[in-house]
Amino acid sequence: MSRVILSPQHPLSAGLTSDSRLVRAYRGERSDTTPVWFMRQAGRSLPEYRDLRVGTRMLDACLDPEMASEITLQPVRRHKVDAGIFFSDIVVPLKLVGVDVEIQPGRGPVFGRAYADAAGVAELTKVDPARLDEASGPISEAVARTIAELNETAPRGRVSTSSTSSGVSTGSTTGGATPLIGFAGAPFTLAAYLAEGGPSKDHLAARTLMHADAGAWRALMDWTAELSGRFLRAQVLAGASAAQLFDSWAGALSLEDYERHVAPASAKALSFVHDLEYEATDAAGTAVTRHVPVVHFGVGTGELLGAMEGVGVDTVGVDYRVPLDVAAQRVGAGVPLQGNLDPALLAAPWHVLEAAVREVLRRGEVAPAHVFNLGHGVPPETDPTVLTRVVELVHEAGA
């Protein structure tokens, strides 16, 4: 594959995020302390989010660059997390190429119809995924606005590679910016919604189609892979410093089905960012070329962790069901891990939560590097002051 060098203004190329705690962890290096961010850190747990969203539908908010950028930045300002995650949704690229989809509050993505058979898949895949490139202006603009503020007002989280200081340096290190993580839905998770026409518990329609009509299934997976891949690429080109592929519902699959019917499509989605590189200087002062780090996460994927790593990623995200030291054995030596505090514990008394955070950090020590996160998204009822306290604890205890 021919390589593409990111523009000199990109935060990775400009050296603003390439030595941040997050990006270093994603390439397997430890820093002054353990980086932390939360899946769904932007959203209903924040009163400033609920205020801003009044009267605006979810997908309209995602496609308003000013609003999407502001929502992305809210948890970074409030919690001092080590990364922003771009405020968007896995169905945004579908919406942008004209698929009839909305997000119903409390329910999730709902489509105008289900795409559960060959005729449905043929109808859906008539649209060329390359159309996303012309339609993704609001995404690129929102990312650009976001990194402009991250570069300007958040010089933190960067650790000089020659520094041996063990001080926890939130806000005190110089020259760096907080990285933005771009994301996309993996082909299976998108297919789980598309085949059903909306949310489901066991994703039966997708699992049936996979076996009932292998040709239609492959067409659906190829198409969603390209769409998600282009969505991810647009975010990275516009300034995201890492990319996360969410295969939230892959845990519904057997290992064999995952490897045969799903993993190749996830690899294809990631191929849209694998060629993106930047030039940097390593700790010894030698010029090196690096790729944009990629994270892969799913829920209930304990049986699949090795195969999910095998898709070709830098870091594996682990849900709360498998302790990190066990996950480390499943993904193999040398793979950084992200996770995996049970979100339910955010509502527990502080001493219980604190012990659980320390336990996650302790188990994460077996990996070459660890990015602290939850085992799934922040519950909407979460007290945001608890999240801020968890960030402080991770930065202090993870040093």
Q: List the one residue out of 176, 186, 260, 188 whose CA is nearest residue 228.
A: 186
Count the neighbouring beta carbons within 10 Å of the beta carbon of residue 329: 12
Among 17, 18, 31, 41, binds ligand CP3 (CB under 6 A): 41
For ligand CP3, the closer CB: 186 or 210: 186
Q: List the one residue out of 109, 139, 107, 112 whose CA is nearest residue 124.
A: 112
Binding mask 145-184 for ligand CP3 (x = CB under 6 A): --------------------------------------x-
Per the CB < 8 A criterion, the answer to whether 11 and 239 are in contact is yes
For ligand CP3, the closer CB: 48 or 325: 48
Binding mask 223-242 for ligand CP3 (x = CB under 6 A): --------------------
- Does 39 bind ligand CP3 (CB under 6 A)? Our answer is yes
- Does 70 bind ligand CP3 (CB under 6 A)? Our answer is no
Q: Which residues of 272-282 are buried (b: 16+ CB within 10 A; e: fewer)?
A: bbbebbbebee
- Which stretches does DSSP call E strand in 156-252? 180-185, 242-246
- Does 13 bind ligand CP3 (CB under 6 A)? Our answer is no
Within 296-335, which residues bind ligand CP3 (CB under 6 A)?
A: none
- Does 44 bind ligand CP3 (CB under 6 A)? Our answer is yes
Residue indicated by tokens 């519950």? 379
Per the CB < 8 A criterion, the answer to whether 270 and 209 are in contact is no
Helices 214-238 and 204-212, axial angle in degrees (round to 10): 120
Per the CB < 8 A criterion, the answer to whether 84 and 160 are in contact is no
Which of the ranges 87-95, 116-124, 223-231, 263-271 carries the binding residues for ligand CP3, by CB under 6 A?
87-95
- Does 89 bind ligand CP3 (CB under 6 A)? Our answer is yes
Per the CB < 8 A criterion, the answer to whether 72 and 85 are in contact is yes
- Does 374 bind ligand CP3 (CB under 6 A)? Our answer is no
- Smallest distance, Å, CB 252 to ligand CP3? 12
- Does 85 bind ligand CP3 (CB under 6 A)? Our answer is yes
For ligand CP3, the closer CB: 299 or 327: 299
- Does 108 bind ligand CP3 (CB under 6 A)? Our answer is yes
Among 15, 27, 40, 200, binds ligand CP3 (CB under 6 A): 40
For ligand CP3, the closer CB: 103 or 225: 103
Count of residues interacting with ligand CP3 (CB under 6 A): 23
Q: Which residues of 181-215 are buried (b: 16+ CB within 10 A; e: fewer)?
A: bbbbbbbbbbbbbbbbbeebeebebbbebbeebee
- Smallest distance, Å, CB 91 to ligand CP3? 7
**Interface residues with ligand CP3 (CB under 6 A)?**
39-44, 53, 58, 85, 87, 89-90, 103, 105-109, 183, 189, 246, 248, 377
